[in-house]
Amino acid sequence: MKNILKKELTLSASVLSYLFIAFGLLFLVPGYPILCGVFFVTLGIFQSFQSAREANDVVFSALLPVAKKDIVKGKFLFSCFIELCAMLLMTGVTAVRMTLLKDAAVYKSNALMNANPFALGVAFFIFGLFNLLFIGGFFRTAYRFARPFVTHIIAAFLVIGAGETLHHIPGLESLNAFGFEHFSLQLLLLALGILSYLFLTALSYRGACRSFERIDL
């Protein structure tokens, strides 16, 4: 398993997957739908799947003395590694906005989603959807990825749109709390986002293993 993961991180990965982690810095940009940064991170992971497919990476991996489920696990571990690196960056940026920049006028007058634990929870949820819809969808054939990625795009931007809309509904203003206002509620929403990420990723992994076992490469 260690060698499979090393192959994913060094041979199969596109450099764009690593570069696109930097889109987590969009959480620092005022007047911008910050959750788009999450989508761009998934776009970077998609580039790795695309370049790996063109290089027949799945067939090459299947020729190695490893179980089929380990090939699936390697792809999931690589994707989760990129996602968690991005989440670490977004969490750091959010902490800066909630502390050092909490009184900045440019953020106080921001009509869009603020960087807070709720935003991080939604980011986790979007990553979970990516793992379910795209990675799980890819392993149904281990070759076609256009339809799964388009499905992910639609789902991701529906969630982004909902995230940008909900806090404008009367009574839900606390979702867009600035600084440490409504912090306990924000932490609860973050926890729900993390749980959804774990659940969707585990569900997708189990389904992908079953699908990949049935494929005759």
Q: Give the pLDDT confidence score for residue 180 in this predicted structure.
A: 84
Burial (Cβ within 10 Å: 0-12, 13-18, ≥19) of residue 65: exposed
Q: How far is CA 217 from the centre of its chain?
A: 28
Q: Give the pLDDT confidence score for residue 55 in this predicted structure.
A: 86
Non-local CB neighbours of 33 within 8 Å, separated by 6+ positions: 112, 113, 160, 164
Tell me if 150 sits within 8 A of 144, measured CB to CB: no
Q: How far is CA 206 from the centre of its chain?
A: 18
Range of the domain at 74: 2-214
The residue among 56, 50, 66, 60 whose CA lies nearest residue 15 is 50
DSSP letter assigned to residue 12? I
Q: Give the pLDDT confidence score for residue 217 in this predicted structure.
A: 62
Positions of the chain with pLDDT under 70: 217
Please, what is the Cα angle at 165 between 163 and 166, to 5 degrees? Answer: 75
Count of structural domains within the chain:
1
The Cα–Cα gap between 180 and 163 comes to 19
